[in-house]
């Protein structure tokens, strides 16, 4: 009996380990931009349900209890998912995108029903029941899941492009500010250097003016006349 108990305990331990590995694989295969997928929760989950589900799944994939080599990654992904869903702004944004995806599918279905007479007649019998059955189907859930991924991916791409433009603009403004500061710095240095050399320039100018003036009574050297009286320009005398 003891051997059977030990075997049964070992069996449950193996099943538990398999469940842990499966949960790690599930978490890591989730769409990174949708924390509802990571916590395996519906879009209308309450804050208490979010916290409770996180505690349950985090214990399942905790690195101290799970031997899966990527248990740490799964544990971190769950923690980030809870953080996003507990943030009112982030949660409202996600809910809005998820509801948008559902509304798009509903509108597409209405257009399809207008063309499909048989489906239109069935929906007219009990429209609310017929649509509820369809939205509870795996087909609709899968399409909804894929549409959410598409919308979140597009929004994330737009967000990153906008962030890149903002970063580029901030970089451009920063560069202009640095260039302006460098220009004013050089200007101040030039003005300072100009002031520092002022006395030297004045002194050089005074010396120049003093040395360039002619003394009073200074005699001019006589002009040499040419032998030709008709020529008015000065010419050296011709040696005979």
- Residue ending a domain, among 36, 55, 86, is 86
Q: Provide the pLDDT for residue 47.
A: 95
Q: Provide the pLDDT for residue 178.
A: 86
Closest residue by Cα to residue 56 from 23, 33, 89: 23
Q: What is the pTM of this model?
A: 0.60
Q: Provide the pLDDT for residue 18.
A: 87
How many other CB atoms are there within 10 angstroms of residue 16's CB atom?
A: 13
Pair (66, 116) in one structural domain: no
Whether 233 maps to a domain, the answer reads: no
Contacts of residue 66, defined as CB under 8 A and 6 or more positions apart, other chains included, come to 17, 20, 21, 24, 60, 74
Pair (114, 183) in one structural domain: yes
The total domain count for the chain is: 2
Check pLDDT > 90 for residue 149: yes
Structure-model confidence comparison of residues 223 and 52, the more confident one = 52
Pair (153, 116) in one structural domain: yes
Query: What's the CA gap between 228 and 235, in Å, rounded?
Result: 10
Whether 207 maps to a domain, the answer reads: no
Contacts of residue 99, defined as CB under 8 A and 6 or more positions apart, other chains included, come to 43
Pair (101, 190) in one structural domain: yes
Check pLDDT > 60 for residue 126: no
Pair (94, 176) in one structural domain: yes
Whether 232 maps to a domain, the answer reads: no
Question: Percent of the chain, pLDDT > 70?
Answer: 75
Whether 205 maps to a domain, the answer reads: no
Domain hosting 14: range is 7-86
Residues 47-76, mean pLDDT to the nearest whole number: 92
């Amino acid at each position: 009996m003891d051997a059977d108990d030990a075997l049964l305990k070992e069996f449950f331990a193996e099943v538990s380990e398999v469940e842990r590995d499966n949960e790690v694989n599930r978490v890591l295969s989730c769409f990174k931009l949708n924390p509802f997928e990571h916590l395996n929760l519906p879009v209308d989950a309450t804050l208490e349900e979010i916290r409770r589900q996180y505690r349950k799944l985090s214990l399942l994939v905790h690195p101290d209890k799970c031997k899966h080599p990527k248990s740490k990654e799964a544990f971190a992904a769950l923690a980030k998912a809870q953080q996003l869903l507990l943030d009112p702004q982030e949660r409202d944004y996600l809910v809005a995108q998820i509801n948008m995806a559902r509304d798009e599918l509903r509108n597409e279905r209405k257009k399809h029903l207008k063309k499909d007479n048989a489906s239109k007649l069935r929906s007219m019998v009990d429209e609310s029941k017929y649509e509820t059955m369809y939205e509870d189907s795996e087909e609709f859930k899968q399409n909804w899941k894929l549409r959410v991924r598409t919308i979140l991916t597009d929004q994330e791409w737009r967000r990153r492009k906008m962030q890149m433009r903002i970063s580029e603009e901030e970089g451009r403004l920063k560069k202009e500010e640095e260039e302006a500061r460098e220009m004013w710095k050089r200007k101040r240095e030039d003005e300072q250097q100009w002031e520092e050399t002022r006395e030297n320039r004045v002194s050089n100018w005074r010396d120049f003016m003093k040395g360039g003036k002619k003394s009073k009574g200074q005699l001019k050297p006589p002009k040499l006349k040419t032998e030709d009286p008709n020529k008015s320009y000065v010419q050296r005398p011709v040696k005979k």
